[in-house]
Chain A
Amino acid sequence: MKAVTGMTESEKYESFMKRIEDGDKIEMDDWMPDEYRTVLIKLISMHGISEIMGALPEKEWVPKAPGLGRKLGIMAKVQDEMGHGQLLLRVTEDLMKPLGRNRADIMDDLFEERLKFHNVFHMRTHTWADAGLIGWLVDGAAIITQTNMLGASYGPYARALKRICAEEVFHAQHGESIIMALAEGCTEQREMLQDAIDRWWPSLLMFFGPESKDTTGSSKQDATIKYQIRTKTNEELRQSFLSKYVPRIHSLGLTIPDDTLRFDQETKIWEYRQPDWKKFKQIIGNEGPKSQDRLNLRRAAYKNNAWVREALEA
């Protein structure tokens, strides 16, 4: 911890910003501007709760996974995601402690819909191909956004991300293996896979968030870049995703439901049809196809198990 006593607020702020610029890591007991703490709490609690809510769509496929190996694979993945949630909520809890808030408040924020989770986890899963696609492309997208924050100025988050990213690589491989089996399979399997891509494509584009706050009215990317929590913008991340996955999708003989999609050789930029950002706002506002069902599942489980938590405290 750096000595900050005897400094004025603005001196503290300047020394804090200098530390960040020097690549120093901020730790949980260090002095930090309120805005920094607020931005971190918002970002990390949303990340953590998304891991936990994200376990639900895949959980739906755990019993149905075709084959013992597939059952084991998806069980391991869901367990990892819950583990990521746990790790991130602990980082959030430490940040919240000075504000007198704890885990129960995080859960309450989720249930009262003050805390949002990622757009992809509001969607319905229809077939086994969706379970594969989530691993391959949603985890693939998550790897891109999370590696972008590996150098985050907040030490505890950067360290958690390092562990999480290592596991996400296995998730993407798990997803890819399911996808490959379907792509190399019979007609029914290939159709199932194409259908999944057609349905998930807009959600995958939305995953990275709007290009700027002009699109949806708010975006936390400016503050996170200012405080060196992340480096690239939403659009830059989406471009990386397209560069990485469009060729792979095509190489499996699959199509992408966007006839305007093209790579401009001169500007080196992918052109694509914008997803419906109005819909995006609705989805993350818990008005997506499965938002309320999944929230209710969580709410009901929490209530149903209240006696256990009380018994543990007795």
Chain B
Amino acid sequence: MEKTESGKFEGLTETDQAYLADLLKQLADDDYLLSFRSSEWLGLAPHIEEDVASASISQDMMGHAAMYYGLLGDIYGRDADDLAHFRGPADRRNSILTEKRNGEGEYLDVPKYDWAYHVVRNLYYNMHKKVKLVALKQSSSTPLRDVAAKAAMELYYHELHWRTWFIQLMNSSDDAKARMAAALEKVNGECADLFHLGKYSEDITRKGYIAPASEMKDSFRKEMEKVFDQTDSVFSFPDDQKENGRLGRHTEDLEHALELMSEVYGSVPYAKW
């Protein structure tokens, strides 16, 4: 990895750069992966209006990923596209929740995707992102504050969208309720690392780049309890799980996703696309 002096992050020591880079990878890879998972749903949503709405959301998420990769590129003196496409699973810092498949089957065949899982996963992810962006708007790093302010404007609509779906399905037919309960259980097994801040978590918070995980988790819990109050269910959040994406320990689903996403970009490595 070459190192260059970057305008935006001037005056940072090497260790500070490492802390910030790790945090940026968490933010960028999260949006990159979940945007991909959402785009697999394109054309397959429950109705056409929803297809249009969720296509717009996955686009925004990819836009946020691009902003974070841009900052990461500034730190490393590398191209944002290379950072998005050429990093292997061990270097990825996204949470497990964002990498898991939408359900059975490949998006090019006849997949059996689960809309209940899509709704629950997106509610958890977007609520977590909302809390994080609030914290990032107070970051000691100016570039992070600026990007968070931009992303937060769009996130407002994303979170509202998935919250509306969630409450509606949780209060509808028995069949829907059962499917949502199953989805909640699945998400509960995959979301424990959402607020984990990775191997430099103490340094990241000590430097004031983002609020401590415990604080963000508290805000998240309060927000989610408000949502669950409008349903018959009780909110719960897991303490731990087997894999931890923030530490680069992922499931097989990630590898497959990354291969697909880099298939063309990596096919002729020196080419401009």
Chain A positions within 8 Å of B, measured between CB atoms, are 52, 55-56, 59-72, 75-76, 78-79, 82-83, 85-86, 89, 128, 178, 181-182, 184-186, 188-189, 296-298, 300-301, 304-305, 307-312, 314
With an 8 A cutoff between CB atoms, is B160 at the interface? no
Per-position binary interface string of chain B over residues 20-57, scored 1 when its CB falls under 8 Å from any chain A CB and 0 otherwise = 00000000000000001001101111111101100110
Query: B116-132: which residues lie under 8 A (CB-CB) from chain A?
Result: none
With an 8 A cutoff between CB atoms, is B189 at the interface? no
Q: 19 more A-B contacts (CB under 8 A) besides A71-B62, A128-B273, A301-B45? A: A52-B43, A55-B42, A55-B43, A62-B42, A63-B39, A66-B264, A67-B273, A75-B62, A79-B59, A83-B52, A178-B273, A300-B110, A305-B44, A309-B47, A310-B173, A310-B175, A310-B176, A311-B172, A311-B176
Chain A interface mostly? helix
Q: How far is the CB of A185 from chain B (nearest CB, A)?
A: 6
- The answer to whether A76 and B59 touch across the interface, beta carbons within 8 angstroms, is yes
Total B residues in contact with A, Cβ cutoff 8 Å? 52
- The answer to whether B48 and A308 touch across the interface, beta carbons within 8 angstroms, is no
With an 8 A cutoff between CB atoms, is B77 at the interface? no
Please pick, from A64, A78, A185, A308, the residue contacting B264 in the complex, using a CB distance under 8 A: A64
Known contacts A72-B63, A79-B56, A181-B272; A305/B46 CB under 8 A: yes
Please, how many angstroms separate the alpha-carbon atoms of A52 and B55 in the complex? 13
Residues of A within 8 A of B44 (CB): 297, 301, 304-305
Q: How far is the CB of A165 from chain B (nearest CB, A)?
A: 18
Residue pairs across A and B with Cβ atoms less than 8 A apart, 13 shown, are A56-B43, A63-B40, A66-B264, A78-B55, A86-B52, A184-B272, A186-B271, A188-B268, A297-B110, A301-B44, A308-B169, A309-B46, A314-B172
Q: How far is the CB of A283 from chain B (nearest CB, A)?
A: 20
Please, how many angstroms separate the alpha-carbon atoms of A217 and B181 in the complex? 55
- The answer to whether B173 and A311 touch across the interface, beta carbons within 8 angstroms, is yes
Known contacts A64-B264, A185-B271, A310-B173; A304/B168 CB under 8 A: no
Please, how many angstroms separate the alpha-carbon atoms of A182 and B267 in the complex? 13
- The answer to whether B265 and A67 touch across the interface, beta carbons within 8 angstroms, is yes
- The answer to whether B59 and A75 touch across the interface, beta carbons within 8 angstroms, is yes
Residues of A within 8 A of B175 (CB): 307, 310-311
Residues of B within 8 A of A66 (CB): 85, 264-265, 273
Chain B positions within 8 Å of A, measured between CB atoms, are 36, 39-40, 42-49, 51-52, 55-56, 58-59, 62-63, 65-66, 69, 80-81, 84-85, 107-108, 110-113, 115, 168-169, 172-173, 175-176, 179, 257, 260-261, 263-265, 267-268, 270-273
Please, how many angstroms separate the alpha-carbon atoms of A111 and B96 in the complex? 37
Q: How far is the CB of A101 from chain B (nearest CB, A)?
A: 17
- The answer to whether A82 and B51 touch across the interface, beta carbons within 8 angstroms, is yes
Please, how many angstroms separate the alpha-carbon atoms of A64 and B84 in the complex? 12
Please, how many angstroms separate the alpha-carbon atoms of A62 and B36 in the complex? 8
Please, how many angstroms separate the alpha-carbon atoms of A287 and B192 in the complex? 49
Most A Cβ at <10 Å: residue of B48, B175, B263, B270: B48
- The answer to whether A72 and B176 touch across the interface, beta carbons within 8 angstroms, is no
Please pick, from A59, A186, A188, the residue contacting B42 in the complex, using a CB distance under 8 A: A59
Please, how many angstroms separate the alpha-carbon atoms of A86 and B272 in the complex? 35
Please, how many angstroms separate the alpha-carbon atoms of A130 and B112 in the complex? 27
Please pick, from B36, B85, B168, B268, the residue contacting A312 in the complex, using a CB distance under 8 A: B168
Please, how many angstroms separate the alpha-carbon atoms of A300 and B22 in the complex? 41
Q: Which 3 A-B pairs have the closest CB atoms?
A: A79-B55, A311-B176, A66-B273
Residues of B within 8 A of A128 (CB): 264, 273
